[in-house]
Amino acid sequence: MYKRQLHIYAGKKQLYKSPPGFGGSLSVATYQVDPGAKEFLTNSAMVEISPAAADLDGDGRLELVAVTSDGSFVGAPGIAPIIKNTRLAVIKYRDGMFVRGTFGEMLGNPVQGLSVAHNRLLFITTNSGSFFGKGAKSHLLAYPLAR
C-alpha cells in the first residue's frame, strides 16, 4: 500500500489501483532522518497491516482481504493516529476485472493484525484506551471460511 491506496501488480505491470482509503493502523514507526547529525530530525510513518489472500466464498479462487479506514493520520511522534470507520475490504478478480466489496460489518476498533490459518480468517482489533494507555484492550476475532 502506498499513500493509502492498494496497488496490485503482475511483475512490473500494474493491474489495479484502488481509490484512497486503504490502510489505517495504530502502529507508528518514529525514526531519525539523519542519525549522524548533531541536531537530529525525526519522522513518523504508519506501519500498515499486510493484506491476506483467502478463498472466502468457497469458489476455489482467492480473494484479497485488506484493512480500510477513514480519518487516519499520524500525529506527533509517539502518539497513535486517529482511525475511524475500520472495515475489511475484499478485492476479487471476476470476469476480467477487479471488484471491491466488504467482509463483515464496520469494526469498532482498528485492525492491528490480519491472517488466514486453519480455514479461518483471523484478525486482531485494538482499543488503544486513554492517552496514558489505561483501558487498552485487544481482541482476536475469527471467521470460518467457506468450503
CB atoms closer than 10 angstroms to residue 94: 10
Q: What is the pLDDT of residue 71?
A: 64
- pLDDT (0 to 100) of residue 47: 80
| % pLDDT > 70, the chain | 86
3-state DSSP helix/strand/coil percent for the chain, to nearest 5? Answer: 0, 55, 45
Mean pLDDT for all residues in the chain = 82
Q: For residues 60 and 6, give the distance between their C-alpha atoms in angstroms, rounded to a whole number.
A: 23
What is the Cα–Cα distance from 101 to 89, expressed in whole angstroms?
A: 6
Question: pLDDT by residue (tens digit) across 60-118?
Answer: 999 999 988 876 555 555 556 677 788 899 999 888 889 998 888 888 788 888 999 98
Nearest-angstrom CA–CA distance, 88 and 103: 5
How far apart, in whole angstroms, are the C-alpha atoms of residue 7 and residue 9?
7
- Confidence tier at 122 by pLDDT (50, 70, 90): very high
Q: What is the DSSP letter of 42?
A: E
Mean pLDDT of 24-39: 80
What is the per-residue pLDDT across 15-27, written as a single tens digit (0 to 9) for each?
988 888 788 777 7
100 forms beta bridges with 91
